[in-house]
Structures are given as structure tokens and as C-alpha cells.
Amino acid sequence: MGRLNLTRRGFCAGGVAAFSVRPTWAATPDDLTARKARVQLAPDGYPMTEVWSYDGTLPGRTIRVGQGERVTRRLVNDLDVPTSIHWHGIRIDNAMDGVAGLTQDAVPPGHTFDYDFVAPDAGTYWYHAHTNSMEQVARGLSGPLIVEEADAPEVDADEVLMLDDWLIDPDSGQFFDDFDQPMALSHAGRMGNLIGTNGQYQLEMPAQSGARLRLRLINAANARIFVLRLQGLSGWSVALDGMPLAAPEPVMDEIILAPAQRIDLIVDVTAPEGETAALLRLDDDDQWRGQVAFPVQGARSGPRRDRPAALPPNPNTALPDLTAARSLDMVMEGGAMGRLATARYKGRDMGFRDLVGQGQFWSLAGQVGMSDEPFAELERGEVVRLRIENRTVFAHAMHLHGMHFRKVAADGALGPLRDTILSIPEEPLEIAVSADNPGKWLFHCHMLGHARSGMTTWIDVT
Ligand code: C2O
Ligand code: CU
């Protein structure tokens, strides 16, 4: 521990509701104000960073509600640009999904939008901007959304760990503002040179030896796939993308967390007093570095606890019946070193070179970016199998709005519910979706630069 985890670029240091005009009365507790703020993102000694924030903090404050409760927030847009909020992973009313241009108009500067929805599932979710999200999320517009079980497991602490990276000029402390840099869009995406947790470049969380912690990991990075390992901590994973696993699974080796994915861990601090337990991260140079440090202070008395019980299931856990399911195919193409010849963009067939001229690099099922017609029209309640073929040389974190889905293994076995899944080049991937939530739902890569440069489509459930 203690090594600075800065990389590259020279850090060193050791449904369309009407808008209402912004009210003149004072902010109520239910406001969520998107505004600029200055925060100390880089290590002490470096300049502060101007970020786009919710209510002045990065990440935005954790919203915690009980399962089945309403979330009500008035987005107040104090930025100079339009914005909107998406509630990632919530099986939400479509009109509240926050996708500018599909489920609502972007909220202009000086205006507000009232979000009001029920959170039907317990678990770890997050909220983030969904207007020009490639830039807005990178500048800081995201925060955790935690929906608590009525009957939560007994732990000594329940901590949210929002993992992120930022691309900052070390001299000025400001974000590099080349958000649509073609090199990043056409390769693995925009990677930060400063990696941190909960808005801090090196987060420390003191813990007692023998304590049991629930760690809710959220990958809020634009493109970074976190490869993680526990040190001085041992335990189980109990939920993925908010949804409880049928049984806790011991964490044996590396945890891979793609952009937008979440994992809930229940871990016991096994490191003795005076040592430091840690969540470690594998960096590009193949070095493991500290992502979060847990300096062990004191010891918890009492015997070591048993394996935790599974989290109580959410209401949507019935396995889909695949016998009559329709199969849909989606080929992913494009990107640097890809083989994309032509694809449809804005109603025209275009060659790769012309697409590049438009700042577009990727296609899903032959389509670049949004089309007027959805990729698929599904009947409410219908089960579909989506076969994804990744003909690019990059991994993509594919996210479906509004509904979770399950991976279908080659032998037909169904995996756990997820809302974001990593597609690996040349590895066939099949998912099964029960279309039980009506509305217009995006399906896109959560490497947000990829989403912006072609990898965004939608389905319509009626
Ligand atoms: Cu987390 Cu369409 O997004
Ligand atoms: Cu992608």
C-alpha cells in the first residue's frame, strides 16, 4: 500500500413531462442540483478540479431508500448545458428513465425535471447523467443509489465503494476536455490517469479485525474494466448488478467489474490489528496496487461468523421459459483494427471511412447509433434470446435499460440476473430477456465513448 496509483501523463508524487421554470423559493431537500463545483480529486499539492456535480460533491451523495419506496428528486439544472438523470438498473417507469431524446427531452439550463418512481428491487444501483453522458459522467455527474432490504444481513458496516477514473492535466488539475478524441472512441475508450474511490484518489477506511463488512462496489468509470482482488479480507459475493445471487459465492480469485457493473460483497477482515487490509487493483503494467485501504484498528470480539445467508430475493427472479423464445442476433462491428465495411447511419448506408468522418466507429446489427425503428419490438411478457457476436477486437460492457437479463450458457444453463454484461471479442454471448417492463429501452455499450460513436440501440416493449 501507500503507492500512488496515478498512471500516465506525468502525475508523480509519491416520457416527456413539461418543464417548469426554476422556482424562486429555497431548495427543498428533494432537489438534486447539477452544478459546477471544485473538489480535490488529485492528491494534495495538485490543483483542485472543476467538476460537474450533483449538489457539489463527487460522487453525488448516496441516495438510500427502502425497497418498494418512492424516490422523488427534482433535478435542478444549474449547468450551462442540458442534462437528464438515468437511474441505472432500476426497473423503472419508462417516463422516468432519463434518456434524453428517447424518454424525455434534456432539461435546459435553468430548468427542472421531477423524477418520481418506485424502487421495486433491493440492491446496489447508481444514477448518472444521460445527456451527452460520455462527457457529463466523466466530469462527475454520478452517484450511488442504494435500495435497502427490509431484512438486511447483519454486518458491522455497509459501505459503498464507487470506483472511478479521471483524465486530468496534472499541471492545471483540470479535465482534459477532448472527450470525443477519436483515438479513445475507436479503441478501448477514455481511460483516466487518476484512479480513485468515492471521489478520493486513495481512500482509507479504518476497520476492526474480525469485523464483517458489506462492500457495495460500483464501477462508475467511462471505460475502465477493474480487475480486483481482496487482501486481508475474505468473504462472498452476494449480489451482481443489484440482484441477489441465489447463494453467496466465495470470492476465490479476481473480481472483474466492467463499467456500470456492481457487485455486493460480504467480507470478514482477516488481517490482524496493525496491518492493512485492501481491495487491490491490477493496473495495465501488471502491478497490483491499492484501490481502497482498510487500516486495521482494534479487533472485534466474539467468534468468527458463519457464511452469510443469501440476500432475500427480489420479485423478478422467476427463470424465463426459453422453450418458445424468439432468437435475435446482434453482430457488433467496428473500432480500430475492426472489419466494419459498411453500416447504416442516420438512414444512409455508409462505408467505414465516411463513418469515421462523422466521428462514428461502431455498429450494432449493421446500425450505427440510434435509428427511428427499434432494434426489436417485443411484446410485453415475451421472452427473447439475444445472441451477441463481438467481431471487434475490444471488450464491450452491454447494458439494457429497464430490465435485468440472464446469460444463457452454451449448455442452456441460465446465469444470474444482470443489467450490464461484458462481451469479449470472438466469444459468443447469449442473453435471455423477459420483456416485462413496457417502454422504449436503450441497449448500449457502457464504455460511454463507444455508446457515443455508434454502440447505442433500443428496443420497444409494448
Ligand atoms: Cu448507466 Cu444508458 O446507462
Ligand atoms: Cu464498447
Digits of tens for pLDDT over the chain (462 positions)? Answer: 333 344 444 344 333 344 444 444 443 548 999 999 999 999 999 999 999 999 999 999 999 999 999 999 999 999 999 999 999 999 999 999 999 999 999 999 999 999 999 999 999 999 999 999 999 999 999 999 999 999 999 999 999 999 999 999 999 999 999 999 999 999 999 999 999 999 999 999 999 999 999 999 999 999 999 999 999 999 999 999 999 999 999 999 999 999 999 999 999 999 999 999 999 999 999 999 999 999 999 999 888 889 999 999 999 889 999 999 999 999 999 999 998 999 999 999 999 999 999 999 999 999 999 999 999 999 999 999 999 999 999 999 999 999 999 999 999 999 999 999 999 999 999 999 999 999 999 999 999 999 999 999 999 999
Residue 87 C-alpha cell reads as: 437511474
Pairing of strands 123-129, 142-148: antiparallel
The answer to whether the CB of 442 is under 6 A from ligand 1 is: yes
Q: How far is the CA of 251 from the centre of ligand 2 (A)?
A: 27
CA distance 189 to 182: 9
Q: How far is the CA of 274 from the centre of ligand 1 (A)?
A: 41
CA-nearest residue for atom 3, ligand 1, is 88
DSSP, collapsed to helix, strand or coil, labels residue 457 as strand
Ligand nearest to the CA of residue 145, numbered in listed order: 1
The answer to whether the CB of 91 is under 6 A from ligand 1 is: no
Q: How far is the CA of 299 from the centre of ligand 2 (A)?
A: 44
CB 310 within 8 A of CB 247: yes
Q: If 0-12 CB within 10 Å is exposed, 13-18 middle and 19+ buried, where does residue 118 land? A: middle
Q: If 0-12 CB within 10 Å is exposed, 13-18 middle and 19+ buried, where does residue 353 land? A: exposed
CB 265 within 8 A of CB 235: yes
CA-nearest residue for atom 1, ligand 1, is 88
CA angle 444, 448, 450 (to 5 degrees): 70
Q: What are phi and psi of 136, to 5 degrees?
A: -70, -40
Q: How far is the CA of 330 from the centre of ligand 2 (A)?
A: 14
The answer to whether the CB of 86 is under 6 A from ligand 1 is: yes
Peptide bond into 59 cis (omega under 30): yes
In the chain, % helix, strand, coil (3-state, to 5) comes to 5, 45, 50
What is the position in ligand 1's atom list of the atom closest to the CA of 442?
Answer: 2
Ligand nearest to the CA of residue 363, numbered in listed order: 2
CA distance 278 to 316: 34
Residue 200 C-alpha cell reads as: 478520493
pLDDT for 22: 44
**The residue to which cell 477519436 is assigned:** 182
Provide the strand spans (E) within 62-177: 63-66, 70-77, 85-88, 111-118, 123-129, 142-148, 157-166
pLDDT for 304: 80
What are the beta bridge partners of residue 71?
A: 117
| Amino acid (1-letter code) at residue 99 | V
Report the sign of the C-alpha dihedral through residues 439, 128, 399, 279, in that order. negative
Q: How far is the CA of 221 from the centre of ligand 2 (A)?
A: 13
Instruction: Give 308-324 as a DSSP string.
Output: PPPPPPPTT-PPP--TT
Report the sign of the C-alpha dihedral through residues 97, 88, 175, 450, in that order. negative
DSSP, collapsed to helix, strand or coil, labels residue 137 as helix
pLDDT for 23: 43
Closest of 99, 47, 7 to residue 457, by C-alpha:
99
pLDDT for 95: 98
Ligand nearest to the CA of residue 134, numbered in listed order: 1
Ligand nearest to the CA of residue 453, numbered in listed order: 2
pLDDT for 30: 85
CA distance 264 to 250: 12
Q: How far is the CA of 128 from the centre of ligand 1 (A)?
A: 8
| Amino acid (1-letter code) at residue 61 | R
pLDDT for 378: 98
